[in-house]
Each structure stands twice: as structure tokens, then as C-alpha cells.
Amino acid sequence: MNNVQDKSKIDLSIDNFFNEISLESPINKDFFRQLFANISTTKGIDFAENIIETVTNVAEIIINELNLDSDSAVAYLIYNLSKDLTISSDDLKANLNIEILEIVNGLKKISALDTSKYHNQTDNFIKLLLTISDDLRVILIKLASMLFQMRNLSKFDKDLQKKIATETSILYSPIAHRVGLYNIKTDFEDLCMYYFNTEKYVDIKSKLAKTRDTLENYISDFIEPLEKKLKEYEIDCEVFGRVKSIPSIWKKMLTQEVEFEKVYDLFAIRVIINSTCENEKAECWKVYSLVTEEYTPNPKRMRDWITVPKSSGYESLHATVIGAEGKWVEVQIRTRRMDEVAEMGYASHWKYKEKKSRDLQADLFSTIRKALQNPRGLKKAQSKEKKALYTDEIFVFTPKGDLKRITDGWTVLDFAYDIHTDIGDSCNGAIVNDKMVSIRHTLKNGDTVKISTSKNQKPNHSWLDFAKSSKAISKIKQSLKAEEYKHADDGKEIIKHKFESLEIPFNDINIQILATFYKCNTILDLYQLMGEGKLDSTKIEKAIQSAEKEELEKQNISEEYDFNTSYSFEDTKGNYLEVDNQSISYAYQYSKCCNPIPGDKIFAFVSITKGLKIHKTNCSNAKSLITNYPYRVIEARWRNLSENVPLNTFIKITAKGNVSIQNKICNIINNDLKLQIRSSKIDDQNGGIISFTVSIFVNGKDHLARVISRLKKLPEVKSVHKVE
């Protein structure tokens, strides 16, 4: 008999469940009766009764507080049964629609998550939830389940209480906030505070109870003249006051750093307007004007979420006005539809959704998904005390009264760049609330701003110290870079003209010498500073001369021979130097320290003022040059050696006799050997021996060898060798 009564009781509970959720489409109730009969057999009647009771309570939240459909409630029922009962996929497909099955699968995936891994990663947790199912009802049903658990937290053991409360506070309350479920978010915060900070919760609750009569009288006195004015203008609305939640008051005590008695805004006034969708914005602004006509407003604390709603869909006008006793009072103005969105977020839209409208449901899911993906303010919602969630946007007015939305913390300069780049570049201040302020001034909510500009103003590096917006910073950097390049171009021309006047080659080596002399990190810095007039251009000649002197000292070059032999490749007939495998056509000189001639192994060295100088690789100065100036050494070799191109070289002759033998030998060189003599100079004359150096032109190393061999055959000649 008892079994029959128990079975009948469960059947009644099942019927009650389906009556609660108002089925929107036919469903096989016998299928569910059989499932409960099976679980009653395996787990017991009490277990089965507990499931149907719990699911019914959660279903009430799903239907009544989230405005979800009956499919959501049925899915939650199946999900709970499937945790302790094996149900074949064929039975599920035969008795349930595909949407319910997808929701069940999503709930199973969420329950399998190790949420402890995400206690410090709320945003990652939300991203994970979004990948679990395309049906956002899965997340909302999970919120309903968590709310039921929080409301019945005392029934769990201490460890489970801590786990549920922690996850609610860190993970699920921020989700409720994002989708605008403010009633549920408030419940979450209230229950979490009671668990985490019972003493403070009870203290504030007690103080509220003691001041309730006073608060209610103040609210009544405040509302009375307002209702009268609204009635006078035939505004169909409801006006009432609401004391703020205990967690909200506690946050204010923390942020304002005051005791309970010093919190001035313990309540808010709401004006809920009955209006059609077509007229609701106009009606809200009309009420706003009447409220601010009756009570003096603080424009800096005005909030307009009608023109630009919050990401959660929240729409409302907030005005802060001065009430009796000089107290600030917040008045929230919105329509009935806006109020439902304010309380229930996007979930309120299910109330108006037609069951067969798949497109509308898809649009709604897309909107909720975007809200969940928006991380703005998430970190603020994660701290243990859950500090107040303030918007990072404020509103300012133009002189014409236009409302502009900007980021909190922006300066006058940021606002100027937001209007236009040219206005930002020339901004030299602003008139804010009829007072002149600098470009560094931080704008506040409700400010009236008129930007001031000047043709003489232009960006400078100090602006980057206080600019906040990415646009302002980017545009300032662009302007500064453009100015730097202009100065650099001017500086390059100054140096180039100075080099031309001093007949100094304008090449990378000499520019680098200048950069080192002026202690510039880069050549661009050299050009820029020179263009800005920060470097003395009259010191350029000194810089080059100092470098020349240092180079000569390091080479230890003898100045004995002052033969300024200089050729350019245009003057030759095919006898080229090959530099880096490319024929060159720059002016060059043969170095007098080693006098290279065709056939010698050579390299080119970039001198400071005399272009390329050609050295023999075994030159006495080669090691010094390559060691001290490796970046100025260029590989070189002779090309087309078969061509007869005379090159100047020096030979030293030692012979028996005096000046007469010198003249004889020079005549032989000139007349017999047919060589052009450029000069002849006596080096030494003593004891019947004379030494002299002759400058001649030869066609190469082999030609010189033949000349030396011919001279050595003269009986008077003791020695002949090329001067290295």
C-alpha cells in the first residue's frame, strides 16, 4: 500500500512539475514516469522525491526569474536523472526534441569541468563555457542551478558550502552581471557576503532596520512633489524608492572610506514610465527635465544609458539631485520595458519571443554571446569584496549641448584628438564649465567643453606624458616623427653645403666622423639635431681636420715625398680597379707610403678628404689601417694589365761619382729608356758616392723590373731599388 502511495505521490510531483513550466509543446509524460519508477527502484523513493523537488524549484527560477522556455526546464530534469540513471540514446531521441538533447549535453560538459582551475581566470572560464554549446540557455540554466544552491547553502556541509560560495562569487556572479541579470547578480552578492562576511552583513542589516522608518519617511517626502508634477503633465508612470542591497552599501563604505552613518545614498528613486516603444526615449527625457526642474541636479553625475545602452542591454537615465537636508538623491528614469531589461537583462527578451521564431532566438543568443565575450570591468567583479562596478565611460557636452561619450580619465588633449587630428595638433587648452584650463586637464562627467586651438601650437614630446587615448598617443607620435624627419632633411642639407664649401667628400665615412664628434648615437640624430640648430655647424671643419690628423698619426706616414699624383678612372683607358667585383669610377690616389703600381697586390682605403687611396697589401701602414679602420678598407685589384697606362713610381739609385753621374743616368732614363722623369732629388753625397731618388712613369711592375735591371748594368751604378 505504501509503495502505491509513494508512486502516486511521485506521479503528482511530476504532474506538478509540468504544470509549473507550462509546456509549450506536447511531451510524453509517461516516459518521465517510467524514468522515476526506474530510479525509485535503484536509488529509493526518497532519492527520487528529492530529485523532482529540487528540479521543480530550479525550474521555477528558470521559468519565472530567467523567463526561459519549458524546453530549458525539461532539459534540466533529464540532466539530473541522467546523473544516476542510464537512459538509452534511442529513448532520448524518441521522446525529446533535438534542442533539449543539446542542452542536456551542454549541462553534462559543464558539470565535468574542474572549476577550481579557473578561480583566477574568470575570463578564460567564460570563453570555455562559450565553446561548450552554441545554445546559451546552457549557461543560463547553470546560473539558475547555482542560485538555488546558494539559497539553500545551509543544507550543505562546510566544505561544499565554501566551494559553492567561492565559485558563485568568482565565476557565476560576473556572468550574471555581463548579461544584465541584476536581480540574480544581487542575490549572488547578498548570499556570498552573508557567507564570507557574516558579521558585517548582520551589522549593516541591523542598522538598516533601525533607520528604515526614517528612510521611508524621507523617500515619501521626496516622492510626493515629484508625483504631483508628473501627474500635472499627464505622465503615466510609477514612482517608488528602493533601499540599496547590503553588499552595495558595504561597497560604498569601502570605496568612500566611511562608516554606515556617513553613506549618503542608501536608496534610489525609480520612475517607471508606461510608454510605447516609439515614444519611450522622448518620454524618459521629458521626465528627466521635470525631475531636474523640481530638484537641482548635479550635471557631473548625470548618466545617459538610453542614447548608448550598456553592453548588457541596460537602458536608463540617472539623475543625481539635491533633496531635503542637502542630501544627494539618485533618480533612475526608464520605461517598463527598460526596467524589465534592467532587472533581468537579455533574459527578459524571452518573454516576448515567439516560440517558432528561430531567427529571433539566434539573434538573442548572438547578443548574449557578445555580452559574455566583453571583458570590460571583469577584474573589478572578481575581488573578494567585489568592489563597485563603475563604467569606464563618462559624458561631456559641447557648447551647443551635444552629448559626447568619452573614456573616463581623458584629458582635454585626448578629447581634442578624438574630434579631429588637426584640432588635437593645434590644441592649446579648453574652456571647461566657463573656465580656461590647460590641455593636461582631466575631464569629468557632465563637463561642458569648448576646445581652444592656435596656429602656433604643435605637438611636443611632453604631450606623451599625459595623453591617455591610443588615438591621441598615435597621432602625437606621427606628428613628432614627421617633424623629426623635416629637421633631419634640413640638417642633412646644412652638412652637405658645408662639405661642398670645404671640398670635403660627402660620404658615409665623413658623416660617421661627424656623428662621433658631436656624440650622436645615429646619423639620423646628427641630421635632426643639426636641423634643429642644436649643433654648431662651424665646428664641422674642425671635426674633419681632427680625424685627418688622428689618421695620419696612426699611419705614421712620412711626408718626405710630396708628389700629389691623382687620377680618376675617366682619365684612364681601360686600366680599372675592381672594388667588390664592381668597376669603380671615383677619384683615387696612389698612396705615397708604398707607391703601388700595376701588378702589386693592393687594397683601397677611404680617406677623409682625398677619396680612395690605393695601398700595397704589404705596405708598412696596412696593418694599422686594417686594424683601426676595418670599415674603411675595400678590396681592390688591378684590371686589364695588358694596357699601357703609365703610373708614377720612385726609384733610388746609388752610384760612384757626383752630380755629373746623376745627370748622366737621368739622360739614359729619359733618352735611352724613353721614360718621363717627373723629378730627381739628391738624398746623400759623400766620399765619391752619390744617392738620389728619381720619380718616373712606368707601365707596371714588369716594366719597372726591366728598367731597374737595365740601370744596374751601368758600371757606375752600385744599387737600384723601388722606393716602398
Residue type, 12: L
Distance CA 700, CA 643 (A): 10
Residues 256, 109, single domain; the answer is no
- The pLDDT tens digits for 121-133 are 777 777 777 767 7
Q: Are residues 343 and 249 in the same domain?
A: yes
**629 is a domain residue:** yes
| Predicted structure pTM score | 0.49
Among 32-46, 104-118, 356-370, which is the least confidently predicted range? 356-370
654 lies in a domain? yes
Q: How far apart are CA 604 and CA 586, in angstroms?
A: 11
For residues 630 and 664, state if they share a domain.
no
Domain boundary among 198, 214, 236: 198
Does 181 share its domain with 33? yes
Domain termination site, one of 151, 178, 198: 198
Indicate if 676 and 705 belong to the same structural domain: yes
483 and 525 in a common domain: yes
Query: Is the separation of the CB atoms in 586 and 614 below 8 Å?
Result: no
How far apart (Å, rounded) are the C-alpha atoms in residues 441 and 424?
A: 14
> Using CA atoms, how far apart are residues 413 and 423, in angstroms rounded to an integer?
9
| Domain end call among 593, 612, 635 | 635
What is the band of 414 on the pLDDT scale with cuts at 50, 70, 90? Answer: very high
Percent with pLDDT over 90 in the chain = 28
What radius of gyration, in Å, describes the C-alpha atoms of the chain? 47
Residue 364 pLDDT grade (very low, low, confident, very high; cuts 50, 70, 90): low
Is the Cα torsion angle 42, 43, 45, 50 positive or negative in sign?
Answer: negative
Give φ, ψ of 458 to 5 degrees.
Answer: -155, 155
Domain presence at residue 642: no
State the cell numbers at 683. Answer: 738624398
Is 457 in the same domain as 510? no
pLDDT band at 396 (very low <50, low <70, confident <90, very high): confident
Note whether 154 and 22 are same-domain residues: yes
Whether the per-residue pLDDT at 257 is higher than 90: the answer is no
Long-range contacts of 97-101 (CB under 8 A, 24+ apart): 97/25, 97/71, 99/71, 99/75, 99/135, 100/71, 100/74, 100/75
Q: Which amino acid is at 402?
A: D
499 within domain boundaries: yes
Residues 221 and 306 in one domain: yes
Strands 393-397, 403-407: pairing kind: antiparallel
Owner of C-alpha cell 521611508: 216
C-alpha cell at 579: 672594388
**Per-residue DSSP letter, 245:** P
Q: Is residue 718 part of a domain?
A: yes
In terms of domains, do 210 and 325 share one? yes
Highest mean pLDDT of the ranges 183-192, 385-394, 479-488: 183-192
**Cell 527578451 sits at which residue?**
349
Answer whether residue 362 is part of any domain: no
At position 319, the amino acid (one-letter code) is A
CATH number at residue 686: 3.30.70.260
Distance CA 110, CA 140 (A): 12
For residue 443, the model assigns a pLDDT of 92
Q: What does the pLDDT average to over 370-377? A: 51
β pairing state of 237-243 and 267-273: antiparallel
Task: Answer yes or no: do 665 and 535 share one domain.
Answer: no
Instruction: Among 178-192, 229-243, 249-263, 613-627, name the most confident range.
Output: 229-243
Give residues with Cβ within 8 angstroms of 438, minimum separation 6: 412, 429
- 661 shares its domain with 620: no
Q: 330 φ, ψ to 5°?
A: -90, 130
> Beta 582-583 vs 449-453: how paired, if at all?
unpaired
| Closest to 505 in 3D by CA, of 588, 571, 580 | 588
For residue 448, tell me if it sits in a domain: yes
Instruction: Concatenate the DSSP letters of all residues of 160-181 into one string.
Output: HHHHHHHHIIIIIHHHHHHTT-
Provide the pLDDT confidence category of residue 577 given band limits of 50, 70 and 90. Answer: low
Residue 152 clears pLDDT 90, i.e. is over it: yes
Helix axes 137-151, 182-196, angle to 10 degrees: 40
b/e code 619-629 from CB counts within 10 Å (16+ = b): bebbebbeeeb
Please check whether residue 364 lies inside any domain of the structure: no
Q: Given pLDDT bands bounded at 50, 70 and 90, which one contains residue 60?
A: very high
- For residue 347, what pLDDT is reported? 57
Give the pairing of strands 303-304 and 393-397.
Answer: unpaired
Provide the domain limits for residue 208.
199-352
Q: How many domains does the structure of the chain reveal? A: 6
Buried b (16+ CB within 10 A) or exposed e, 464-473: eebbebeebe
